[in-house]
Amino acid sequence: VGQYRDPDGKSFYAVYSAIPETSGWGLVVVVPRAELMSQVYLIMVLVALSLVALIFSVMTLMHFISRTVVKPISELSNEMKTITRAMDFSRRVQIKRQDEIGQLGQSFNQMGEQLEESFLKIREYSENLEDMVAQRTEELNAANNELKEKNKTIEQEMFIAQRVQRNILPDQATTLLGDELRFAASYSSMEAIGGDLYDISRIGQTTFGFFIADVSGHGIPAALITMLAKVSFTTYSHWDIPTGETCTSVNDAIFRMIGDLDHYLTAYFGKLDLQTGIFEYTNCGHHPAMVIREKDGSIEELDTSGFLIGAFADGMYETKSIQLEEGDRILLFTDGIVEARNEDGDFFGNDRLYDYIKQNLDCVPGDFVDGLIGNVDAYCGSRPADDDRAVLYIQFLSTVDDPDNERKVADALIIEKKSTPGSASVQKKYQKGIDLLQENRLQEALDFFKSRLKKEPENPKLLNYLSATYYAKGDFPEAYRVLETMLELGHDTKAVRKNMEKVRQQLDSII
């Protein structure tokens, strides 16, 4: 290929190509440059025109899109900004189209209407909120005051129920039942009122009955059932029947009332005849009673066959008996004692109870019970009680032949210092002191009764003999002081009051 000019100055393009299979022949094509470039210029013009047409089409399309898509969306965006900035939910867009953009505009307008409605509600609610809060606060205060009043009423009723429940229990301090029987007891409940109960009472001229019970559950239902148990045992214990039959009657009465309430109670009931020292007993699914023998400190468990009270109708309960000797003690307790847990969750258990008993054989009932409760509390440490706790500890001091005559002799001795006791049991225990008093060996009699009082400091019979001795010696202030001690211990009889009046007359005559 080459370019050249002819003599006239015209420009040409020449193309040469050899012809194969010839000897040196070739082909030369000569084209004027003007002719060749005219086609190129035509193509360039066509391309330029095409570009112009394309640009125009694109601009036209962009303008169309801007008017039909971008502008409506821009309007939506601007309206949204206005709404969010000015919180003017009344703004609407005017897009009258049936395509997706039109649907978007309609949705926007619907959203605006809903927002406007919601905003008006919120504004209305906000304007009324303070009043509503004040009203609700007033209502809550009224309800709270009502609850406080009801709670106060409940607390008062619970306090009364607690007082009633406590008052039906015998005096928890060590108390003498005559001169032949002494007991001490303790009761503590998890709540204001509980489900444990004990009782001891005279059920015959020379017979005492006592029981301990543990009702399932706690609180008011359990407390009501303890009252029912108290009434039932008190009623049927006076019947001249074996303890097993007594428990059968109690079970029948209680089952009729609570048999469908899924409540029951365990109980232990016993009767002690002070003339014979025979202790008759029945266990109703409770912890067995323990007898601690005075002579050797041995411990015996007293158990019988018998099921829970109030759980089934027609329950049958076994009766057994044992001979007690002077000084023997009976221990009854609820499971809150042996099942008390320490901080590690371990039970106090029977072994620790046995150890405590063996270490405190010489304690009077009051000290024994106080020590046992303190021992359990110390074992539990900071762990709160898991159950109610009740303990009843009874000491059999002596038999009696004619208790009425003994009391008359003991109360009258200060008035007639040479009276002869009419009771064999009194003569047996205090004969030496009585003989010394009758022989007018007053200082020796005084020493004798004082020494016996160290072992039995709250025995009213010994206190009466001591007062009689002071009276015989003419030491009326001491005689009067001892009689006051008898009153403080609960031995408030007409005879003691009469004796105090007699001593007071002597004191007045001296003054």
CB 420 within 8 A of CB 360: no
User: What is the CATH number assigned to the segment(s) 173-396?
Assistant: 3.60.40.10
Q: What is the token pair recorded at 96?
A: 């009258």
Q: Which own/partner pairs from 471-480 qualify as long-range (CB within 8 Å, at least 24 positions apart)? A: 471/414, 471/417, 471/503, 471/506, 472/417, 472/437, 472/440, 472/442, 473/442, 473/443, 473/446, 476/503, 476/506, 476/507, 476/510, 477/507, 479/414, 479/503, 480/504, 480/507
Does the pLDDT value for residue 173 go beyond 60?
no
Does residue 167 register a pLDDT over 90?
no
- Rounded mean pLDDT of 316-320? 95
3-state helix, strand, coil in the chain (%, to 5): 55, 20, 30
Q: Name the band, by pLDDT with cuts 50, 70 and 90, for residue 472.
A: confident
pLDDT at 289 > cutoff 90? yes
Residue 328 and residue 281: Cα distance in Å, rounded?
Answer: 15
Question: Do 187 and 168 contact (CB within 8 A), yes or no?
Answer: no
**Residues 6 or more apart in contact with residue 367 via CB below 8 angstroms:** 360
Q: Tokens in use for 88? A: 């003017």
pLDDT at 92: 67
* Residue 24: predicted pLDDT: 78
Bridge partners, 176 (sequence order): 182
Give the helix/strand (H/E) hosting 83.
helix 71-86
> What tokens does 387 get?
């159950």
Is 165 buried (19+), middle (13-18) or exposed (0-12) by CB count in 10 A?
A: buried
Worst-scoring range by mean pLDDT, 218-232, 348-362, 368-382? 218-232
Alpha-carbon span 288 to 309, nearest angstrom: 15
Q: What's the rounded Cα separation, in Å, for the pair 261 and 146?
A: 31
Polymer length of the chain:
511
pTM greater than 0.75: no
Asked whether the beta carbons of 102 and 84 are under 8 A apart, the reply is no
- Contact status, residue 162 vs residue 296, Cβ threshold 8 Å: no
Q: Which CATH number fits domain 403-510: 3.30.70.370, 3.40.1350.10, 1.10.10.60, 1.25.40.10?
A: 1.25.40.10
Name the token pair of 447.
């020493």
The 3-class secondary structure across 258-277, one letter per residue, is: HCCCCCCEEEEEEEEECCCC
Cβ-Cβ contacts under 8 Å for 80 (sequence gap 6 or more): 108
Measured CA to CA, the distance from residue 325 to residue 348 in angstroms comes to 30
Cα distance between residue 454 and residue 205, in whole Å: 29
Distance CA(472)–CA(417), nearest Å, equals 7
pLDDT above 80: residue 424: no
Residue 483: other Cβ atoms inside 10 A: 26
Q: How far apart are CA 182 and CA 171, in angstroms?
A: 12
Per-residue pLDDT, averaged over 211-235, amounts to 87
Helices vs. strands in the chain: H and E counts, helices first: 14, 14
Indicate the DSSP class of residue 343: T
Residue written as tokens 């601690």?
A: 292
pLDDT at 367 over 50: yes
In DSSP terms, 330 is beta-bridged to: 291, 394
Average pLDDT of span 129-152: 83
Which range among 4-8, 338-342, 361-365, 403-407 shows the weakest confidence by mean pLDDT?
Answer: 403-407
CB atoms within 10 A of CB 508: 9
Q: Is the pLDDT of residue 186 over 80?
A: yes
pLDDT 10s digits, 199-215:
988 888 789 999 999 99
Q: Which of 177-186, 282-291, 302-311, 442-451 has the lowest mean pLDDT?
A: 177-186
CA dist., res. 63 & res. 69, Å (int): 10
